[in-house]
C-alpha cells in the first residue's frame, strides 16, 4: 500500500487527456496526416509534459504505465516523431493506466481524518518525549481510527493504557503490573492519593489524573482493560480522546 495525494490522480488524468485531445485535433480537424512529423517546438513541449507525467505516475506506483511513459520519452528524445506514433504512444499509456488502476482499490481519507492518519505526535510533544514506548501504538491507533477500523484502534489504545496505568501506579506507590480490572485499579490509585498531603499542589494533579482515568474507564465500556468484542467509530473516537487526555495529564506529573 502506498499513500498518494488526490491531486496526483487529478493532474495525471487531466494532463494525459489534454495531450491526447490536442494531438487528435491536429490530425482530425486541422488537416495533418498521421505520418506527418511534429515540429521541433512541439516535440520539445511534449518532452517536458510527458517527463512530468512520468514523474507523477512514478509516485502513483503504476509501474507498467511508468515503463510505457519512459519508452515514449526515449522516442521523443531520439528526434523526429510522427503524429500517428504520438497518438499510438498516448493511447497505449492511457490503456495501461486504466488497466493498472482497475486492479487497485482507492481509499479516501477526508480532511477531518487526515491528521489522524499522518501526524507523528497525536498526543502532543510531552507524551512523545516522556513515553516514547507509546509512540508506535499512538500512531497506529490514529491510523486505525482514520481508516474506519475502530476495534483495532481500541486494541492499540489498550497497549497505551497498560503502560500509562503502570507508570501512574509506580508514581503513587501502587503495584498494578497484572491488574486489569478498572475498578480495582481506580480504587488502589484513589486510596494512595487520599493518603497524600492535600496541601501539596502535586496532590491535586494526581487527583485530576485519576479523574481522567475514570473517564477512560467509562468510555472503555468494559469492566476490564481488554477491549470489548467490537467498537463503533463513535465509541472508538470517545475512547481515543479520553486516553489522549489521560496520557497528557499523566505527562504533567511524570
Position 29 scores a pLDDT of 63
Position 55 scores a pLDDT of 85
Average pLDDT score over residue span 131-143 = 96
Position 240 scores a pLDDT of 97
Cell of 33: 496526416
* pLDDT tier at 221, thresholds 50, 70, 90: confident
User: What are the pLDDT digits (tens) for 191-218?
Assistant: 999 998 888 888 999 999 999 999 999 9
Q: Which residues contact 127 (CB under 8 A, 6 or more apart)?
A: 121, 134, 138, 247, 248, 251
Q: Please state the pTM of the whole predicted model.
A: 0.76
pLDDT of 116 strictly over 90 = yes
Higher pLDDT pick, 242 / 60: 242
Average pLDDT score over residue span 230-236 = 94
Computed over every residue of the chain, the mean pLDDT equals 88
Average pLDDT score over residue span 81-91 = 88
pLDDT of 41 strictly over 90 = no
Average pLDDT score over residue span 211-233 = 87
Count how many Cα atoms sit within 13 Å of the Cα of residue 139 in the half-sphere of its side chain: 11
Average pLDDT score over residue span 59-84 = 88
pLDDT of 177 strictly over 60 = no
* pLDDT tier at 10, thresholds 50, 70, 90: confident
pLDDT of 23 strictly over 80 = no
For residues 220 and 172, the answer to whether their CB atoms sit within 8 Å is no
pLDDT of 172 strictly over 70 = yes
Q: Which residues contact 52 (CB under 8 A, 6 or more apart)?
A: 15
pLDDT above 90 covers what percent of the chain? 44
Average pLDDT score over residue span 166-189 = 84
pLDDT of 138 strictly over 60 = yes
Q: Which residues is 16 bridged to in the sheet?
A: none
CA of 166: how far to CAs of 1, 44, 136, in Å?
35, 66, 18
pLDDT of 100 strictly over 80 = yes
Position 7 scores a pLDDT of 77
Position 126 scores a pLDDT of 95
Higher pLDDT pick, 105 / 154: 154
For residues 138 and 127, the answer to whether their CB atoms sit within 8 Å is yes
DSSP string covering 77-138, please?
Answer: HHS--BHHHHHHHHHHHHHHHHHHHHT--PPP--HHHHHHHH-S-TT-HHHHHH-GGGHHHH
Amino acid at each position: 500500500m502506498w499513500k498518494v495525494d488526490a491531486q496526483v490522480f487529478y493532474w495525471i488524468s487531466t494532463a494525459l487527456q489534454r495531450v491526447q485531445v490536442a494531438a487528435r485535433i491536429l490530425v482530425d480537424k486541422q488537416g495533418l496526416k498521421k505520418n506527418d512529423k511534429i515540429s521541433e517546438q512541439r516535440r520539445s513541449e511534449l518532452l517536458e509534459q510527458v517527463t512530468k507525467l512520468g514523474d507523477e505516475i512514478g509516485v502513483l506506483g503504476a509501474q507498467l504505465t511508468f515503463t510505457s511513459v519512459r519508452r515514449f520519452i526515449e522516442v521523443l528524445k531520439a528526434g523526429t516523431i510522427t503524429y500517428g506514433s504520438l497518438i499510438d504512444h498516448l493511447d497505449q499509456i492511457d490503456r495501461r493506466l486504466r488497466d493498472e488502476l482497475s486492479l487497485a482499490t482507492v481509499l479516501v481519507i477526508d480532511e477531518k481524518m487526515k491528521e489522524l492518519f499522518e501526524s507523528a505526535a497525536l498526543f502532543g510533544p510531552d507524551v512523545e518525549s516522556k513515553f516514547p514506548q507509546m509512540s508506535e501504538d499512538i500512531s497506529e491507533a490514529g491510523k486505525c481510527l482514520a481508516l474506519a477500523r475502530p476495534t483495532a484502534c481500541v486494541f492499540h489504545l489498550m497497549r497505551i493504557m497498560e503502560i500509562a496505568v503502570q507508570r501512574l501506579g509506580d508514581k503513587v506507590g501502587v503495584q498494578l503490573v497484572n491488574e486489569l480490572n478498572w475498578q480495582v485499579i481506580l480504587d488502589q490509585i484513589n486510596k494512595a492519593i487520599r493518603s497524600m498531603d492535600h496541601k501539596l499542589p502535586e496532590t491535586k494533579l494526581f487527583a485530576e489524573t485519576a479523574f481522567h482515568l475514570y473517564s477512560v474507564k467509562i468510555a472503555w465500556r468494559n469492566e476490564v482493560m481488554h477491549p470489548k468484542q467490537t467498537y463503533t467509530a463513535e465509541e472508538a473516537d470517545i475512547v481515543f480522546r479520553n486516553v489522549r487526555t489521560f496520557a497528557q495529564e499523566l505527562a504533567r506529573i511524570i
